[in-house]
């Protein structure tokens, strides 16, 4: 009996010690967490709700051609709000008038993307992406040689000096490339819209789609066409996952090569199986963002569907001759199918349900100019 009581007493103090230790441990964890987040504030986290002033500053910058080295281009020259923040060119045109190698993607809902750019799966942060338009040289986009030159330009514009002082009051040098990127990022995160008819349908308004559109939707998600297997987004969290696929657009010399100027994900991984793999684009507003694919080499949605129906693109003349349907690295999901004229029309009418111009009513996204 005594022994048992002793045992229980020992157990109790062990429990107490354990509980104390646990509290202590939790307290230490908590404190170190606060300490770390105080020293290294995460930019991403701070931006979940960008302040109005910060994103307004970013908006001024986004629409300002003084943001290019020779004052010819702004972000909006290539990401035009009237074209869902894309540009209508096959491939973008940089500050010197030379063609950039890739087609400009829409920036609508870009904050929900799993990764940025057509061919690199490793770029997840806006501030990393921003280095490309600012500093790319061959060809130039905004065309800057270095950060100092950008800073010098902005410091010469009194309106910006005042704005940066207001937005970054405690900073020693309010005008820095870091803060410029920070402001633009805040604006980019506000480029959001979920007002397409398909969004309404997903939210429960089933009668908003016509019978033809619903037939098109069934085709889109069918095993025969597989469109919905690759072009997915997560309606609940609005996330657009990144997936890289080869759709059989090229097959140079029957080797599986895409044009040397752009082999997609392969450029990053150097793995043959990644040749011709590009990020699956979001089809939101697809009818506003022609021409299509990474190099803008497909002019219309109809042409795109015909390529899928053939199981890949055959090019019969010119330097890119080859039958993409035989590309050894092509996705197994692209196997070709037969489709009637009516089915094709229904499919396109479904794609049209992904058009969402609701964002154009949000004045905070549109053009604004800082004159002085």
Residues contributing to the site for ligand HEC (CB under 6 A): 62, 73, 75, 77-79, 92, 94, 100, 102, 104-105, 107, 110, 113, 116-119, 129-130, 133, 141-142, 184, 188, 225-227, 229-231, 245, 247, 249, 278, 280-281, 283, 286, 289, 292-294, 301, 304-305, 308, 331, 333-334
Q: Six-digit token pair at 204?
A: 């429960």
**Residue with Cβ nearer ligand HEC (167 or 183):** 183
**Residue with Cβ nearer ligand HEC (55 or 77):** 77
Q: What is the maximum alpha-carbon separation in the chain?
A: 98
**Residue with Cβ nearer ligand HEC (204 or 318):** 318
* Rg for the chain, CA atoms, rounded: 26
Q: Provide long-range contacts, Cβ within 8 A and 24+ apart, for 47-55.
A: 47/182, 47/185, 47/186, 47/189, 50/185, 50/186, 50/187, 50/189, 50/190, 51/167, 51/186, 53/166, 53/167, 54/167, 54/182, 54/183, 54/186, 55/183, 55/186, 55/187, 55/189, 55/190, 55/364
Smallest distance from the beta carbon of 347 to ligand HEC, in angstroms? 6
Smallest distance from the beta carbon of 229 to ligand HEC, in angstroms? 5
Smallest distance from the beta carbon of 49 to ligand HEC, in angstroms? 19
Smallest distance from the beta carbon of 110 to ligand HEC, in angstroms? 5
**Residue with Cβ nearer ligand HEC (116 or 160):** 116
C-alpha distances in Å from residue 345, one per residue of 77, 215, 281, 283, 341: 33, 10, 21, 17, 6
Smallest distance from the beta carbon of 362 to ligand HEC, in angstroms? 17
**Residue with Cβ nearer ligand HEC (230 or 366):** 230
Q: Six-digit token pair at 102?
A: 């890739």
């Amino acid at each position: 009996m005594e022994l048992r009581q002793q045992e229980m007493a020992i157990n109790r103090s062990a429990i107490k010690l354990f509980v104390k230790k646990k509290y202590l441990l939790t307290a230490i964890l908590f404190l170190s967490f606060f300490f770390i987040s105080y020293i290294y504030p995460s930019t991403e986290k701070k931006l979940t709700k960008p302040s109005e002033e910060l994103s307004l500053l970013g908006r001024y910058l986004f629409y300002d051609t003084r943001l290019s080295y020779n004052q010819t281009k702004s972000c909006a020259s290539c990401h035009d709000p009237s074209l869902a923040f894309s540009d209508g060119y096959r491939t973008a045109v940089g500050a010197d008038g030379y063609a950039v190698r890739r087609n400009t993607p829409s920036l609508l809902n870009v904050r929900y993307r799993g990764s940025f750019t057509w061919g690199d799966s490793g770029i997840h942060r806006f501030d990393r992406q921003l280095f490309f338009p600012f500093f790319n040289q061959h060809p130039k986009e905004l065309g800057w040689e270095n950060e100092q030159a950008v800073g010098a330009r902005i410091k010469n514009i009194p309106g910006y000096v005042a704005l940066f002082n207001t937005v970054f009051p405690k900073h020693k040098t309010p005008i820095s490339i870091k803060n410029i990127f920070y402001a633009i990022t805040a604006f980019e995160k506000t480029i959001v819209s979920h007002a397409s008819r398909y969004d309404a349908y997903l939210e429960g308004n089933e009668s908003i789609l016509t019978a033809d559109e619903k037939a098109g939707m069934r085709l889109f998600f069918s095993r025969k066409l597989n469109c919905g297997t690759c072009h997915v987004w997560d309606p609940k969290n609005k996330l657009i996952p990144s997936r890289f696929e080869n759709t059989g657009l090229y097959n140079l010399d029957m080797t599986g090569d895409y044009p040397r100027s752009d082999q997609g994900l392969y450029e990053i991984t150097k793995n043959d199986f990644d040749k011709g793999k590009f990020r699956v684009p979001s089809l939101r507003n697809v009818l506003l963002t022609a021409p299509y694919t990474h190099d803008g080499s497909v002019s219309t949605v109809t042409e795109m569907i015909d390529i899928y129906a053939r199981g890949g693109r055959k090019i019969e003349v010119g330097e890119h001759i080859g039958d993409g349907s035989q590309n050894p690295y092509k996705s197994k999901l692209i196997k070709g199918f037969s489709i009637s004229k009516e089915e094709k029309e229904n499919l396109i009418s479904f794609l049209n349900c992904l058009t969402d111009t609701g964002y154009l009513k949000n004045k905070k996204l549109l053009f604004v100019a800082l004159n002085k």
